[in-house]
Copies of this chain bind each other. A is one copy, B any other.
Amino acid sequence: MSRPSAPPLHTSAALPLAVDLYELTMLQAYLQNGLGGEATFSLFFRQLPPGRSYAIACGQQEVAELLPTLRFDASALAALAGVPGLSPMLLEWLADFRFSGTLRSVREGTPVFPQEPILEISGPLAEVQLLETLVMNQVHTQTVLATKAARLRQAAGPVPLIDFSMRRAHGIEASVRGVRAFYIGGLDATSNVLGGLTYGMPLSGTMAHSFIQAHDSELSAFENFWATSPAPTFLVDTYETSQGVARVIELSRRLGRLPAAVRIDSGDLGMQARAVRQQLDEAGMETVRIVVSGNLDEQAIARLRAAQTPVDGFGVGTALGVSRDAPALDLVYKMVEYNGRPRAKRSPGKIQLPGAKQFWRRRDVHGRVLGDVLGLTDDFAEGEPQLREQVVAGDLLTDTLYPLEQAREHCAWELAGLPADRMALEANAPALEVRLTPALRALAERH
Contact = CB atoms under 8 A, between A and B. Distances in A.
A209 to B, nearest CB: 5
Given A25-B228, A191-B21, A343 B4 contact: no
Nearest to A83: B203
A83 B197 contact: yes
A29 B20 CA distance: 47
Interface stretch (A324-332, A376-384, A385-393, A415-423): A324-332
Nearest to A85: B229
Interface in A23-43: 23-26, 28-30, 32-33, 35, 37, 39, 41
Interface stretch (A129-137, A250-258, A364-372): A129-137
A341 to B, nearest CB: 10
Interface stretch (A96-104, A152-160, A234-242, A435-443): A234-242
Contact of A327 (B176, B198, B324, B350): B324
Contact of A322 (B168, B176, B228, B327): B327
A172 B20 contact: no
A81 to B, nearest CB: 11
Given A4-B198, A32-B227, A202-B1, A144 B173 contact: no
A43 to B, nearest CB: 10
Tally of this chain's copies: 2
Contacts of A2: 200
A170 B345 contact: no
A14 B194 contact: yes
Given A203-B83, A209-B335, A213-B338, A197 B5 contact: yes
A334 B173 contact: no
B227 A29 contact: yes
B79 A197 contact: yes
A138 B171 CA distance: 6
Contacts of A225: 25-26, 29
Nearest to A220: B33
A193 B267 contact: no
A328 B335 CA distance: 34
A413 interface: no
A129 B79 CA distance: 38
A405 B3 CA distance: 11
Nearest to A209: B345
A206 interface: yes
Interface residues of A, number: 124
A30 to B, nearest CB: 7
Interface in A161-198: 164, 166-178, 183, 191-194, 196-198
Interface in A332-374: 333-335, 338, 343-350
Contact of A228 (B5, B87, B349, B404): B87
Contact of A171 (B19, B141, B318): B141
Contacts of A18: 166, 172, 175, 192-194
Contacts of A210: 26, 39, 41, 129, 334-335
Given A6-B197, A137-B169, A192 B20 contact: yes
Contacts of A324: 327-328
Given A12-B10, A207-B26, A228-B32, A133 B83 contact: no
A176 B267 contact: no
Give the 6 A-B CB pairs with smallest separation, nearest first. Answer: A21-B205, A6-B197, A22-B205, A171-B173, A170-B174, A173-B173
Given A22-B191, A210-B335, 14 more contacts: A10-B11, A22-B205, A22-B208, A23-B205, A26-B210, A26-B225, A29-B227, A33-B224, A87-B228, A133-B166, A141-B171, A145-B170, A168-B331, A171-B173
